[in-house]
Structure 1
Amino acid sequence: MANALTAATPPGSTGRNKTNNEAWLDFWAARPLPILQSTKAALTGYVGKSEAARTDDVVDLVLRDPLLTAHALRHINQRRRSSMTADVVSLENVILLMGLESFVKKFTALPTVESVLLPAHQARYFSLLRHIATARLAAKLAREFGVLRYDARLDEIYVTALLADLPVMLRHIDVGMNEPVPPVELASVMLPLFARWRLPEVFNALLDDTVASNQRSMLHQTALRLAEHLQLGWWQAGIADEVHRAGHALGIEQYTVWEIICRTLLHFARNDWPYPQIFPPARWLPMIAGDWPKPQVKTEKAETKPAEASRPTVQDILRELQHAGQSGASFNQIMGLTIRAHSDGIGLKRIVFGLLLAGQNALKTRYIVGAAENDPLRTFHIDLSAPHIFTKLMLKPQSIWINATNRGQFESLLPRGLRQAIGQGEFLAMSLFVENKPVGIFYADNRGEPVTESQYNAFKQVCLMAGQSLTRQAKRLELGS
């Protein structure tokens, strides 16, 4: 919806806008970004206390403020680096590279939004808070969709959504700056801004609507549009189309998508809404037509049934696994969560992790679940000196699903003796890499029963997340943290 900040460009002003855009980009090229006062106050609490601080707590704090997130990523990605240095996307990696104490000291020195806009520009300030809240809601929705499609790089999805409205946020701030800010055409400046700041290229890929045919990008942009529409009510034109689009892409019913949206809105309003000046979009939900819940009548205490409902979902364990990697969990803890995800979350019947014995060039059982005492998988031992499908898997992180469709193609490539150990059914296998080094192979099956495609997709996602968590752990050990 057009307003004073987003009004359409007059005809014939394209050349002038190009000049204005360049001047605006120059203005913000290296200028410190103001951050929210609440962010600065909370971050200041870590000054001199970095040894007792948890990195993931600081990351959560920074991700509540898109302006600080953008400033930190701009700072770290503009550092001098070699051609082999990768873009830094996650705030956790920014802290690892800078050190927590240095991170806190540097960014608590930034000015605040409140000092720039208040008391003279309250309307701009409240409007900026609405945009920040919308960005955070969009990031949460994008992450929920990413989890459902087993996206291995949730940090990319979350941070890109958080920064998608960054030019508009900066435009809100310019009225309070000490010197005049050049005019800008907001519709055409976002991608050049990210490029000028050397932010990761994946941000542009996710935000560029010319590649929206890509499912990842399309779902990401759907989350952005939903967050914008939901600020004005669930009945807004376009919401039904976005829900349908998300359901089709994710392979789930539309009512399931809507349940995810409602759950996210309510959680955001109840637990994570620090903006008393503006109303959360969840305020509209009571207006949805439907029956009032009937009052419950107190009855005698019923016999409790086994906790079927307490069984964790894949998404629950993935979040737990991601948190384990961020909070310094041990190798055994991360592997335990991974095995649990395969068994309890995905529902696979037999799971084995074969650890690479580097000195022997072989795989040997380290963890096993679901196998009887006399199961040959308990003595799982595969020689890697001979070429076969498992030696191929150990070349890079990759997976395979042996099933009735491809069995004829791959059966002759299986390691000697594997079929005698596992039987004749379908199975899954995927290599585990930590810091680009092979560690072992996950094996899973359903004890002779078919494996579903959803199980295979979830299996790959869990294995990838395990590798990422173990890599974070290894980096911490290298840094001595």
Structure 2
Amino acid sequence: MFETHATRDLEGWLSLFSSAQMPVLRQTARRLDEARQHIDRVTGRDITDIVLQDPLLAIRVLAYIQSCGSKRLRSDITNIASAVLMLGVEPFFRKFEDPPTIEATLSRKPQALLGVLQVILRTQRASRYAHDWAFARHDMNVEEVALAALLNDLAEILLWCFAPEQAIEIRARLQSGRTLRSSSVQQEVLGFPLADLQLALCRAWQLPELLTMLMDSRSAHLPRVQNVRLAVNLARHSVDGWSDAAIPDDFAAIESLLNISRETLLARLQLPPELVPRLAAPQTAGAEGSSRRA
């Protein structure tokens, strides 16, 4: 575990996270080990499916690919399937053998472990939404969009792993003031919003410009970026249930992006039947007590 300090500046946090050995989910390590035992039957698609459930393994794979090969070749690798194809099955397992796990890293910090697992669950949900909507939009590269949603909260995940005290403080402040904006609280605790660290990490790890753009709210006018942003927002607002006051706004924006009705959207979301009647009718969002925005 790394020692962290609240006075660390953006460059300091960037250096900390860039030098850290990224852990993966224990379930990911188990699935990789099982696949390795049947390496003669494992395909690139099998590996890709494992990687795309774990944002930290996904960023490890992308960062490694960007560190090798020509600039022209690296620019073509914008999804995990292409990265695995470039590496090959056996070299992949050699490179990512016996990774540390998040559960072991945070074994003595149960509150931080719960926090990071909650964020990862949220990113997994966002990735599923983004994939489904990109497919519905006939996007040329659905996995790029899903991957961008999976990695959107990477900086927050890393904060929970390597600076749990700061992550816990941010969450406590947000819970004590339900109308506070996440970015403002992050600014108070860290000296900058996590979105700034996220983009700095993308640049430091030389992630493909396309992926960086898909995670950058400054490109929000582009349909693919809207796809990612709306998936992230809905996952954030629904992770604790479907009563958040911001959800009607989310639904309206998604319906506009996909050009579908509320009924069709609810069917795509595969919600429990008992929730559908309450969510079926368009509502007026933005009322008093609505969810804080990031």
Q: TM-score range by the shorter chain?
A: 0.7 to 0.9
Q: Note the 1:94-113 alignment, pairs <5 A.
A: 94-113=83-102
2:60 corresponds to which letter in structure 1?
A: H
Q: Does residue 132 in structure 1 map to residue 140 in structure 2?
A: no
Equivalent residue number for residue 270 of structure 1: none
Structure 1 pair 34–85 and aligned structure 2 pair: CA distance change class (3 A):
closer
Matching residue within 130, 151, 155 for 1:167: 155
| Alignment deviations for residues 188-240 of structure 1 (CA, whole Å, 9 cap, x no partner) | 21111111111111122112212211122112211110011111222211111
- Report the Cα distance in structure 1 between the residues aligned to 2:40 and 2:110, rounded to whole angstroms: 38
> Could you tell me which residue of structure 2 aligns to residue 25 of structure 1?
14
1:51 and 1:253, CA in 2 relative to 1: closer, same or farther beyond 3 A? same
* 1:241 matched to 2:249: yes
Is 1:144–2:144 an aligned residue pair?
no
Residues 82, 250 of structure 1: CA spacing in aligned structure 2 closer, same or farther, 3 A cutoff? closer
CA contact (8 A) 1:149 1:250 kept: yes
Looking at structure 1, the residues matched to 105 and 207 of structure 2 have their Cα atoms a distance apart, in angstroms, of: 25
Partners of 1:171 and 1:184 in 2: how far apart?
Answer: 14
Equivalent residue number for residue 258 of structure 1: 266
Amino acid at match of 1:257: L
1-side partners of 2:74 and 2:22: how far apart? 25
What residue in structure 2 maps to residue 212 of structure 1? Answer: 220
Equivalent residue in structure 2 for 1:90, among 65, 69, 79? 79
Runs of 4+ deviating beyond 6 Å: none
The amino acid that maps onto 1:57 is D
Contact 1:138 1:226 (C-alpha < 8 Å) held by counterparts: yes
Count, aligned residues: 249
In the alignment, the residues of structure 2 paired with residue 74 and residue 25 of structure 1 have an alpha-carbon distance, to the nearest angstrom, of 14
Provide the residue aligned with 1:56 in structure 2.
45
More strand by share: 1
1:203 to 2:211 alignment: yes
Summarize deviations over 1:70-117 as a string: whole Å, max 9, x none: 111111112141446524122222222222112112212321111110
Greater C-alpha radius of gyration: 1
Whose relative contact order is higher, 1 or 2, with alpha carbons under 8 Å and at least 6 apart? 2
Residue deviations 1:286-313, cap 9 Å, x none? Answer: 35547xxxxxxxxxxxxxxxxxxxxxxx
Provide the rounded CA distance (Å) in 1 between the counterparts of 2:109 and 2:248. 36
Where do 1:2-17 residues align within 5 Å?
none
In structure 1, the gaps of 5 or more residues are 1-15, 267-284, 291-481
SS of equivalent to 2:132 = helix
- Once the two structures are TM-superposed, the CA of residue 49 in structure 1 deviates from its matched residue by 3.4
Distance 1:91 1:48 in 2: 22
TM-score by length of 2: 0.78
Q: Which structure carries more helix by proportion? A: 2
- Partner residue, 2:202: 194
Which residue identity lines up with residue 61 of structure 1 in the other structure? I
Alignment of 1:287-302 (within 5 A): 287=275, 289=277
Listed one character per residue, the Cα deviations across residues 394-421 of structure 1 (whole Å, up to 9, x for unaligned) are xxxxxxxxxxxxxxxxxxxxxxxxxxxx
Contact persistence 1:47–1:105 (CA under 8 A): no
Shift in CA distance, 49/233, structure 1 to aligned 2, threshold 3 Å: closer
| Residue type at the aligned position of 1:136 | Q
In structure 1, what residue type is equivalent to 2:246? G
Deviation of the 1:47 alpha carbon: 2.8
Pair 175,211 (structure 1): closer, same or farther in 2 beyond 3 Å: closer
Q: What's 2:175 paired with?
A: none
**TM-score (ref. length: structure 1):** 0.49
Secondary structure of 1:213's counterpart equals coil
Tell me how far apart the structure 1 counterparts of residues 27 and 219 of structure 2 sit (CA, whole Å). 37
CA distance change for structure 1 residues 51 and 228 in 2, over 3 Å: closer, same or farther? same
Superposition pairs of residues 70-469 of structure 1, within 5 angstroms = 70-83=59-72, 85-118=74-107, 120-175=108-163, 185=192, 186-261=194-269, 263=270, 286-287=274-275, 289=277
Does the CA-based 8 Å contact 2:133-2:227 persist in structure 1?
A: yes
Q: Distance in 1 between matches of 2:119 and 2:38?
A: 32
Residues 167, 190 of structure 1: 8 Å contact kept = yes
Cα deviation digits, residues 20-52 of structure 1 (max 9, x gap): 110111122243201111111210123353222
Give the aligned CA root-mean-square deviation in angstroms. Answer: 2.4
